[in-house]
Chain A
Amino acid sequence: MTGKERIKRYARELLNMSLDDGRVDPERVEAVLATLEKAPPRNYLSILRAYAKRVARELARGQAVIEYAGGLEDSAAEALAASFSRHYGRAITPIKRPNPDLIAGLRIRVDCDVYEHAVASRLHSLARDVA
């Protein structure tokens, strides 16, 4: 096993230790970090970076980042998140982000999936088709 693979495996194990009921638990993350600090492993920095990346990815899996232009009621955001929770079969919390570049509509990101429902993306695809 190469050094990079070892780091990846270590980070994956640390992430597994940080999960509680399939979700990242801040207390567990804290405990993992404290343990690592006490006895830093070889390639400590690289492991921490890989661990941070994995935690961020895991957190993104549980978030629906809703970019919007114009207004968006909190209740609507909650409803969207509930709908995504049902769709993906895991708890998803909404994060609202205003984005005037969208002109109008929404752009929702859940992990790697992006749902485009904005005027800007329509215009973009129209321009591409015409070209």
Chain B
Amino acid sequence: MSSVIEQIEQRISQLETRSVKKNTGNVLAVADGVARVDGLSDVMYNEMVEFPGNVTGIALNLEEDEVGCVILGDAGHIKEGDEVSTTGRLLSIPVGKQLLGRVVDAIGGPVDGKGPIEAKEHFPIEKIAPGIIARKSVDQPLHTGIMAVDAMIPIGRGQRELIIGDRGTGKTTIAIDTIINQARINKQGAESGDPDFRPVYSIYVAVGQKNSNIARTIDVLEETGALEYTVVVTAPAADNAANQYLAPYAGAAIGEWFMQNGMDALIVYDDLSKHAAAYRQISLVLKRPSGREAYPGDVFYLHSRLLERSARVDEANGGGSLTGLPIIETQAGDVSAYIPTNVISITDGQIYLETDLFNQGIRPAISVGLSVSRVGSAAQVKATKQVAGKIKLQLAQYRELAAFAQFGSDLDAKTKAQLDRGARVVEIFKQRLYNPIPMEQQVATLWGIENGYYDSIDSKKIVQAAVNFREHITARKTALLERILKEGAISDEIAKELKAAYEEWKPSFDAS
């Protein structure tokens, strides 16, 4: 027996004294966070390389004579002639539930001062998206808690829905509201003890944003209790372009872990305009040929390979989903610019936010005419379909009529009624920020407007009335709300109960 142990120990001692082989190169030049390296003959594309001082880089340009590496840390002390070595590892980051509630940088390092992350697994940042066979069609809803979205532009689990608009139109707010709503539903699901309940975990990727904005977002998530279900990946404006370029892929890798392990996740890329700008910066420094608006030729692939990673996969591949909410900032409402059109064509629909609507006080400032969800309606709950099926058309007609009615004063009764109803629908969709509305309350509210219970209320008081009604049914008709949630459709009985609820509430509101 002792000879066996000796054999093993001999083998261990052989391994311990084994020499380490490295493939190395030397820095030729460093500029703008990019190093040109001579050598590194065995380096792989996207491989992590090591610079002196434990600084990591990624090999992005493999040329005949030299390798272009982006430096992920402080490039200040790297000088010409320094030795660079390969690591044999592709860039990967920690993944798993241990990341929930944490704020990490583009390579998965914690930046929230809460100590190290004890992740058991690592996923490569770049990964090929699930293929056709592995995918399943979108048929489960992802409720945002924003009535206008859930009613008219429904989102399904595994969908990619673009949020697009000028600066300051509430793009981030929609995304944060959605994250908050997932946390609310997760808590509700956990309390219900339903074994079939599938929580949705969120990943918020902040690219090129001000640190103050990111801190504010984290505060909101913390205050609303959503942070415990969320991973925040940050690459703020002060970070180098390489980190900003990598952050969305890092977020996608974190989300993919949930998807591959049979869970549902939501990822927000805030925003991909800045991501494209960071990639343009890297590409120009790497001397890659530039095209339209100085973006490199593969800027479409930059976003398509990222967004294709959002999917709903079949049971053989984990059975989970990753829903993507990319954000794009437009300039002066120009959706036909290069990056917006690219991302519009990649995604399964878009929520378009208009500055004019925002300034008119219509918030969320969703332009119903230009917003669309290409696959979400298949995932919409039947109850919502029943009450909101005609609303999009009604709103579109209202906008046309309202524009037309500006030129004339004499309107027939039908047109006037349409205008009145439209104005009330616009009002009812107004919603305070960080205040998602549960699906069953949305259904009850929309049922009321469809059945004319808000027609006699002054349009200026509609928002107040809707809030008041929701408070009323939450306090007094819990069973009805639970039934709507459970059955997912409005049966005759539910309709009767809704009618009774409105008739009970209406006089008290009118009197107030």
**CB contact between A113 and one of B17, B23, B64, B65 (< 8 Å): that residue:** B23
Are A116 and B24 touching (Cβ within 8 A)?
Answer: no
Decide if A99 is an interface residue (CB 8 Å cutoff).
no
How distant is the Cα of A131 from the Cα of B53 in the complex, in angstroms? 12
With A8-B64, A8-B65 as known contacts, state yes or no: A112 contacts B23, CB within 8 Å.
Answer: yes
A114 touches B85 (CB 8 A): yes
Residues in A57-80 with C-beta less than 8 Å from chain B: none
Q: Decide if A49 is an interface residue (CB 8 Å cutoff).
A: no
Q: Nearest chain-B residue to A50 (Cβ)?
A: B65
Contact of B20 among A109, A112, A116 (CB under 8 A): A116
Whole-angstrom distance between the Cβ of B16 and the nearest chain A Cβ? 10
Structural contact, A115 and B54, CB atoms closer than 8 A = no
Of A8, A112, A114, A117, most B-chain CB atoms within 10 Å: A112
List residues of chain A with CB within 8 A of the CB of B42: 112-113
Interface string of B62-84 (1 = CB under 8 A from A): 00110000000000000000000
The answer to whether A30 has its CB under 8 Å from any CB of chain B is no
Chain B residue contacts of A128, Cβ below 8 A = 54
Residues on A with beta carbons closer than 8 Å to the beta carbon of B25:
112
Tell me if A121 is interfacial: C-beta within 8 Å of chain B.
yes
What's the interface size class on B, roughly?
10 to 19
Chain A residue at smallest Cβ distance from B86: A112
Cα A79 to Cα B41 with chains together (Å) = 25
Q: Are A117 and B54 interface neighbours, CB within 8 A?
A: no
Is B158 at the interface (CB under 8 A from chain A)? Answer: no
**Distance of B319 from chain A, by nearest CB (Å):** 38
Given A8-B65, A131-B54: A111 in contact with B22 (beta carbons within 8 A) = no
A93 CA to B20 CA in the complex, in Å?
21
* Given contact pairs A8-B64, A114-B85, A131-B54, A121 touches B20 in the complex (Cβ within 8 A): yes
Compute how far the CA of A113 lies from the CA of B40 in the bound complex, rounded to whole angstroms: 8
Judged by a CB distance under 8 angstroms, whether B296 is at the interface is: no
Contact with A along B8-20 (1 / 0, CB 8 A): 0000000001011
Query: Within A82-122, which residues are at the interface with B (CB < 8 Å)?
Result: 106, 109, 111-117, 121
Complex CA gap A111/B26 in Å reads: 12
Minimum C-beta distance from B12 to chain A (A)? 16
- Mind listing 17 A-B residue pairs with CB under 8 Å? A8-B64, A106-B19, A111-B41, A112-B41, A112-B42, A113-B21, A113-B24, A114-B22, A114-B23, A115-B19, A115-B20, A115-B21, A116-B19, A116-B20, A116-B21, A125-B20, A128-B54
Those of B249-293 within 8 Å (CB) of chain A:
none
Contact residues in A for B40 (Cβ distance below 8 Å)? 112
Determine if B22 and A116 form an interchain contact, defined as CB atoms under 8 angstroms apart.
yes
Kindly list chain A residues whose C-beta atoms are within 8 Å of the C-beta of B154: none
B54 contacts A112, CB within 8 Å? no
**Contact at B39–A112, with CB atoms within 8 Å?**
yes
Residues on the A chain within 8 Å of B54, using CB = 128, 131
The closest CB in chain B to the CB of A105 belongs to B19
Contacts of A113 in B (CB 8 A): 21-24, 42
Smallest CB gap from A108: residue in B:
B19
Question: Quick check: A117 and B19 within 8 Å, CB to CB?
Answer: yes
Residues of A within 8 A of B65 (CB): 8
Complex CA gap A111/B65 in Å reads: 13
> Which residues of chain B come closer than 8 Å to A8, judged between CB atoms?
64-65
Could you say which residues of chain A place their CB within 8 Å of the CB of B24?
109, 112-114
Considering the complex, give the chain B residue whose CB is closest to the CB of A128: B54
When chains A and B are docked, how far (Å) is the Cα of A128 from the Cα of B87? 14
* CB-CB nearest 3 A-B residue pairs: A117-B19, A112-B41, A112-B39
Expressed in whole angstroms, the Cα–Cα distance for A113 and B64 within the complex equals: 17
In addition to A8-B64, A112-B42, A115-B19, 15 A-B residue pairs with Cβ atoms within 8 Å of each other are A8-B65, A112-B24, A112-B25, A112-B40, A112-B41, A113-B23, A113-B24, A113-B42, A114-B85, A115-B20, A115-B21, A116-B19, A117-B17, A121-B20, A131-B54
Contacts of A115 in B (CB 8 A): 19-22
Measured between beta carbons, the chain A residues less than 8 angstroms from B22 are 113-116
Mask of B301-344 contacts with A, CB within 8 angstroms, 1/0: 00000000000000000000000000000000000000000000
Q: In whole angstroms, what is the CA distance A109 to B19 when docked?
A: 12
Contacts of A117 in B (CB 8 A): 17, 19-20
Which residues from chain A contact B21 at a C-beta distance below 8 Å?
A: 113-116
Residue of B nearest to A122 (CB): B20
Residue on B nearest A125 in the bound complex, by CB: B20
Assembly CA distance A14 to B40 (angstroms): 23
Q: Which residues of B contact A121 (CB under 8 A)?
A: 20
Whole-angstrom CA separation of A106 from B19 in the bound complex: 9
**Bound Cα distance A111, B54 (Å):** 23
Within the complex, the shortest CB–CB distance from A90 to chain B, in Å, comes to: 14
Q: Which residue of A lies closest to B65 (CB)?
A: A8
Q: How far is the CA of A125 from the CA of B42 in the complex (A)?
A: 21
**Shortest Cβ distance from B64 into A: residue:** A8
The answer for the CA separation of A8 and B66 in the assembled complex, in Å, is: 12
Collect the chain A residues with CB atoms within 8 Å of residue B85's CB: 114
CB contacts (< 8 Å) of A111 on chain B: these are: 41
Least Cβ–Cβ distance between B272 and chain A, in angstroms: 32
Q: Which residues of B contact A125 (CB under 8 A)?
A: 20
Contacts of A116 in B (CB 8 A): 19-22
Kindly state the separation between the CA atoms of A121 and B83 in the bound complex, as whole angstroms. Answer: 14
Nearest A-chain residue to B85, judged by Cβ: A114
Nearest residue (CB) in A for B20 is A116
Interface-centre pick from B23, B54, B65 (highest chain A CB count, 10 A): B65
